Structure 1
Amino acid sequence: MPHSPDLARLALTVLQPGFDGSAPPAWLRRALSEGLGGAVLFARNIVDPDQTADLIAAMREDNPAVVVAVDEEGGVVTRMEAASGSSWPGNRALGTIGDPSRTERVAAAIGHLLASVDVTLDYAPSVDVNADPDNPVIGIRSFGDDPGLVAEHGAAWIRGLQSTGVAACAKHFPGHGDTVADSHLELPTVHAPAALLRQRDLLPFRAAIDAGVRSIMCGHLLVPALDPAAPATLSRPTLTGLLRDELGFTGMLVTDAIEMRAVAALHNPGEIAVRALIAGADAICVGVSSEEGESVYVLRDAIVAAVHDGRLSEERLAEAASRVVALAVWHADFAGARLWNERDDDVALGLATARDALRVTLPGRGPAPAAEAAIPPLAAPPLVIDVAPRLNLAVAPGTPTGLYAELLDNLPGTLGVTVRADSPALPDLAPHADRPLILVVHDAARHGWAAELVAHAVRQRPDTVVVETGMPGEAQGSVYIATNGISRASAQVVAHLLVHGQ
C-alpha cells in the first residue's frame, strides 16, 4: 500500500523540540515552514514578556498553528520568571490553603501571563499524589499526599488556566508521586499494586479528564502492575489500554522530554519517538536539539522509516498529528476572546496566596497560619545562611531560591552566606552574635547534611529562625516558618513578616 506524500510532514507535526537562543534559529524556522507542529520554550529562550511575544510571533510567521509549549507550574518550576522567581506560589502552597477557588484564580493569573505572549500549551499542572515524602522530584510540586485533594485542586487549576485560552497538561501519567528516583537521572519504579494505583494515583487524572484537560503528559516510569516490560512512555497497555480505552481521554498525549535518562538509557532518540507513538503518544517532547537542528530531522526520518517498515502504522501517525492540530485549533478559537487581567492584581493575588500558605511553629505550639502567630520583628539586620542543596533538574538553573535578597531590600545591612553540599559547614557565628540568625533550608529532612547544620546552628543559637522552603519537617529554632514552596512571592511575604512582625 503506498504511503501519503505528506508522511514527512506528519512526522514533523508530532515533534515538540526545544532550541537555543532568544530568537528562532534558521533551522527552526525552516522546520516550521515544513510542518513542525510544536516547540517548547525554556528559561534559556526567555528574556521578558515583550521579547517572548516577539519570539512566538516570529515562529507563527512560519507556522501559524505551531503549538508553543512551556513549563509554567508556578512556584519553583517557572520559565517565564526564572530570573526573578515566580509571582505565584506552587501547588503545595495551594493545597495547604485548601481553597479550590483560590487555586483556580492563581492558575488563571498564570494563564494571563502566558496568554499575553501567545503560548499555546502549559505543561502543567502536576497532578501527582506525593505519596512518598522522600520523593526527590515531585514534593512541593504536588498539591499534597491526599488523592481527593490533589484531584480537586488539579481540576480547579485546569479550569482556571484554560479559561484564559491556554491549554493545560496534567502530568506525569500514571503518577510520579510514589517514587524515590528522579526520572531526569534514572528510571523510577512505582511498586504499588494496580488496585492502589487506581484508588490513589489515577484519581487526579480522572478528575483532570472530567475537567476537560486538553493534554496529558506521560511520565518516564516503570509501573510493573500496568506493564512490567516497558516504561509508561513506551507502554501501549498504559497509554492506550488504560488512558485511552479505560479512562476515556481523547486529547493530546505528550511525552516527557525524551533526553531524560529514564528512557535515554534504554534507546536512541529516534527509537524512543517511534515506540512512544506506537504506544499511543501523540507528541514527542525533546528538550535539547542540536545546534543546526539535525537531531530534529533524525527524529522525523526515524518516524518515517518506521512507517515504511510497517512498525508504525500511517493511521496511528495521522491520528497523533490530528490531535496536535486539534489542540492548535482549540487555542486559535480563543484568539478573540482571551481573558485578561491587570498585572498588579495578579501579583497581589500571588502575594496574598503565598502569605496564606505560610505555617509558623513557635516553641510548644503546633503549626499555625502566619496571621495567627505572634512573631516579634527583627531587632537588627540579620545574618542569613542559605543552606542550599542542589534542586532537581525540573528547576531552571539560576531560579532564585533563598531569602537574602528580599531581606536585604527590607532591612539594609543584612548579611548573606550560602552553604552547599560540597562544603557543608556553618560560618563562624561568634562575630555575628549581635545579629539575628536566619537559616533558609530546602527539604532539610531529605538531606542529612542540611539537617545536621540546622541542628548545630540551633544548639549554638537557640534564637535561630528556620525557614523551610520545601517539604516541612520537624520544627526547630525559636521560630520555624514553612513556606510550602519556592517563589518570589513566598520570599517577599516571609521577609515582610520577619522585618515587620505579626
Structure 2
Amino acid sequence: MVSLFNHFTIKLFCVLLVFALSACSFPSKRQEESIAETSMKEKIGQMLTVGFDGFVLEPKSPIALAIQQRQIGGVILFDYDLKHQAYRKNIRNPAQLKKLTTALQNMAKKADQYRVNSAESSYPLIIAVDYEGGAVDRLHSRYGFPKTYSAQQFSKLPAKQAEQQAKNMAETLVTSGINVNFAPVVDLLYGPETFIARKKRSFSSIPEKVEESAEFFSRAYGKAGIACAYKHFPGHGSAVGDTHLGFVDVTDTWKKKELKPYQYLLAQKDACPIVMTAHVVNRHLDPGGKPATLSKAIIQGKLRDEMGFQGIVSTDCMQMSAIADNYSLSEVLKLSINAGADMLIFSNQQSPVWQNPADVIDLIYAHVKSGEIKSSRIESAYQRIIHLKKKLSDVDKNIANIIDTQ
C-alpha cells in the first residue's frame, strides 16, 4: 500500500512539474499580446526625435526617463531656447557638448540591455542638430566652435575652399558627438523677401549651383559617418511666410525646377540618407491642400514612387504653428505616418509644455490597433531607421578619416 501511494505521489509530482514547465515555456495569450504591444511601442518610439532642456543629462529628467524606457530613437539639440528667448538650451561650449552627447549615448546603451528583443543588436541614439552655417548654426563661434559661412557665402567659395569648409564642419560634428545633421538646405533662392532668403539659407537660384554646393556637404558628412538631410521637400524657397508662425501656401509661387536638386542629389552614391519635408501647402502636388508633411501625394506619390527615394523621410518639427495650430496631434500623427513619414520631430521649442513621447506613442499605437495606421507602415519606418543606425559609426573613430583627407 505504501509503495502504491509513493508511486502515485511521484506520478502526480511529474504531471505537475510538466504542467509548470509548460506554463513557463509557452506564454499565455495575454502574455504574448503584452510582449507584442511592448515591441510595437518600442518600434514606434524609434520614430521619435525630441528636443529637451538642459546642458547636462540629469538622471531623473524627462529626457533621461524617455531614453531609459526606450521611448525615443533620437534627440535634437539647440543653442537658443525659443520659449525663454535666451541662449540656454543645450549647447554652451565644445567640452560641455561632448560631455552631454557622451552621456546620452551611454544612457541609451544601458537602456538597450532591457529591450524586448534581447537578441537584437544595440544601435546608437540619433543625436541631431541643425548645423547649416550662417544664421542657422547651433555650433556657433560664440561658443568656441569654428566660424562658418552662410549658404549664400559658401556657394561663392572656390571649390577647394568649399570642400575644406565642408570637411571642417564634419570634423566639428564628429568631435561634438553628433551623428545626424539636418542640412544642407536645397531650397532655391527667390526674391529677398522670402523666408529662406532673409536668413541667407539658400545656395543659389540656379538648381545646378545648389546641387554642386550641397554635394560638398553630403560627401564630407558621408565620409565622416554622419547622416545628413536634404530639406525642405518639395521646396520652401518661394515662401514669404514662416511655417514656424502659421499656414504657408506656395501654390502660386512654387516652380517645378525646385525638385531638380533632389532628383540629382538623390541619384548620387554619396547622397544624404534623409529628406526632410516642408510644412508648406503646394496644390500643384497635392490638390487637396495638405501641407507636404501630411501629404501622401507628395511624400509617397512624388518623393518615393516618382523619384524612387527609399531612405528616411523626416518631418520638420511637428509643433510648428503651420501644423500644430491647424490639426490635432492625433490627426497629425495619423496623416504624416500614412503619408510616408518615418521620423517625427518634436523639438519642444514652441510648445509651452514638454511633449511626452509616451503620449505620442500611445496615440500612434491606438491608430495601429484601430487599423487607421497599418502595422506594416510602422515596420517599414522602423526598418529604415535601424538601417540608418547600423551605418552610424562611432563618431569618435571617424575623426582620423577626416584629418587624413585634409
Partner Cα separation in structure 1 for residue 309 and residue 387 of structure 2: 14
Match of 1:207 in 2: 264
Q: Is the contact between residue 270 and residue 298 of structure 1 (CA under 8 Å) also seen in structure 2?
A: no
Q: Is the contact between residue 112 and residue 340 of structure 1 (CA under 8 Å) also seen in structure 2?
A: no
Confirm whether residue 301 of structure 1 aligns to residue 358 of structure 2.
no
| CA positional deviation for 1:164 | 1.6
Q: 1:138 to 1:161 in 2, by over 3 A?
A: farther
| CA-to-aligned-CA distance 1:250-280 (integer Å, 9 cap, x gap) | 2111110111111111113343233211110
**Aligned counterpart for 1:52 among listed residues 97, 103, 120:** 97
| CA-to-aligned-CA distance 1:464-502 (integer Å, 9 cap, x gap) | xxxxxxxxxxxxxxxxxxxxxxxxxxxxxxxxxxxxxxx
| CA-to-aligned-CA distance 1:400-449 (integer Å, 9 cap, x gap) | xxxxxxxxxxxxxxxxxxxxxxxxxxxxxxxxxxxxxxxxxxxxxxxxxx
Partner Cα separation in structure 2 for residue 148 and residue 133 of structure 1: 20
Confirm whether residue 287 of structure 1 aligns to residue 347 of structure 2.
yes
Q: Is the contact between residue 108 and residue 162 of structure 1 (CA under 8 Å) also seen in structure 2?
A: no
| CA positional deviation for 1:72 | 0.6
Q: Which amino acid aligns with 2:296?
A: R
Alignment of 1:351-366 (within 5 A): none
Confirm whether residue 249 of structure 1 aligns to residue 309 of structure 2.
yes
Match of 2:115 in 1: none
| CA positional deviation for 1:191 | 2.1
Partner Cα separation in structure 1 for residue 247 and residue 400 of structure 2: 40
Q: 1:268 to 1:339 in 2, by over 3 A?
A: farther
Match of 2:76 in 1: 40
Q: 1:220 to 1:59 in 2, by over 3 A?
A: same
Q: 1:243 to 1:150 in 2, by over 3 A?
A: same
Q: 1:103 to 1:31 in 2, by over 3 A?
A: same
Q: 1:236 to 1:292 in 2, by over 3 A?
A: closer
Q: 1:246 to 1:23 in 2, by over 3 A?
A: same
| CA-to-aligned-CA distance 1:223-246 (integer Å, 9 cap, x gap) | 100003210000011111111111
Partner Cα separation in structure 1 for residue 398 and residue 321 of structure 2: 41
Alignment of 1:149-160 (within 5 A): 149-160=209-220
Match of 1:12 in 2: 45
Runs (5+) with no aligned partner, structure 1: 347-502
Confirm whether residue 180 of structure 1 aligns to residue 240 of structure 2.
yes
Partner Cα separation in structure 2 for residue 82 and residue 277 of structure 1: 37
Q: Is the contact between residue 190 and residue 197 of structure 2 (CA under 8 Å) also seen in structure 1?
A: no
Q: Is the contact between residue 196 and residue 202 of structure 2 (CA under 8 Å) also seen in structure 1?
A: no
Match of 2:56 in 1: 23
| CA positional deviation for 1:188 | 1.6
Q: 1:138 to 1:40 in 2, by over 3 A?
A: farther
Q: 1:143 to 1:292 in 2, by over 3 A?
A: closer
Q: Which amino acid aligns with 2:78?
A: F
| CA positional deviation for 1:131 | 2.4
Q: Normalized against structure 2, the TM-score is what?
A: 0.78
Partner Cα separation in structure 2 for residue 134 and residue 167 of structure 1: 31
Q: 1:243 to 1:48 in 2, by over 3 A?
A: same
Q: Is the contact between residue 10 and residue 318 of structure 1 (CA under 8 Å) also seen in structure 2?
A: yes
Q: 1:161 to 1:101 in 2, by over 3 A?
A: farther
Partner Cα separation in structure 2 for residue 17 and residue 176 of structure 1: 23
**Aligned counterpart for 1:141 among listed residues 201, 220, 223:** 201
Confirm whether residue 123 of structure 1 aligns to residue 182 of structure 2.
yes
* SS of match in other structure, 1:58: helix
Q: Is the contact between residue 313 and residue 343 of structure 2 (CA under 8 Å) also seen in structure 1?
A: yes
Percent of aligned pairs with the same amino acid: 28
More helix by share: 2
Q: 1:63 to 1:274 in 2, by over 3 A?
A: farther
Partner Cα separation in structure 1 for residue 128 and residue 139 of structure 2: 12
**Aligned counterpart for 1:238 among listed residues 287, 292, 298:** 298
Q: Is the contact between residue 92 and residue 142 of structure 1 (CA under 8 Å) also seen in structure 2?
A: yes
Partner Cα separation in structure 2 for residue 60 and residue 176 of structure 1: 33
Q: Which amino acid aligns with 1:30?
A: L
* SS of match in other structure, 2:225: coil
Match of 2:379 in 1: 318
Partner Cα separation in structure 1 for residue 93 and residue 387 of structure 2: 29
Q: Is the contact between residue 100 and residue 152 of structure 1 (CA under 8 Å) also seen in structure 2?
A: no
**Aligned counterpart for 1:164 among listed residues 224, 231, 248:** 224
Runs (5+) with no aligned partner, structure 2: 1-32, 80-88, 110-123
* SS of match in other structure, 1:220: coil
Q: Which amino acid aligns with 1:135?
A: T
Q: 1:295 to 1:48 in 2, by over 3 A?
A: same
Q: Normalized against structure 1, the TM-score is what?
A: 0.63
Partner Cα separation in structure 2 for residue 166 and residue 76 of structure 1: 22
Q: 1:309 to 1:101 in 2, by over 3 A?
A: farther
Partner Cα separation in structure 2 for residue 312 and residue 173 of structure 1: 23
Partner Cα separation in structure 2 for residue 103 and residue 127 of structure 1: 16
- The structure with more radius of gyration: 2
Q: Is the contact between residue 132 and residue 179 of structure 1 (CA under 8 Å) also seen in structure 2?
A: no
| CA-to-aligned-CA distance 1:156-192 (integer Å, 9 cap, x gap) | 2211222222111110001100111111112221225
Partner Cα separation in structure 1 for residue 66 and residue 251 of structure 2: 41
Q: Is the contact between residue 104 and residue 159 of structure 1 (CA under 8 Å) also seen in structure 2?
A: no
| CA positional deviation for 1:12 | 1.0
Q: Is the contact between residue 163 and residue 339 of structure 1 (CA under 8 Å) also seen in structure 2?
A: no
* SS of match in other structure, 2:211: helix
Q: Which moved more, 1:75-84 or 1:254-263?
A: 75-84
| CA positional deviation for 1:101 | 4.3
The aligned length equals 340
Partner Cα separation in structure 1 for residue 234 and residue 162 of structure 2: 22
Partner Cα separation in structure 2 for residue 96 and residue 328 of structure 1: 34
| CA positional deviation for 1:112 | 0.3
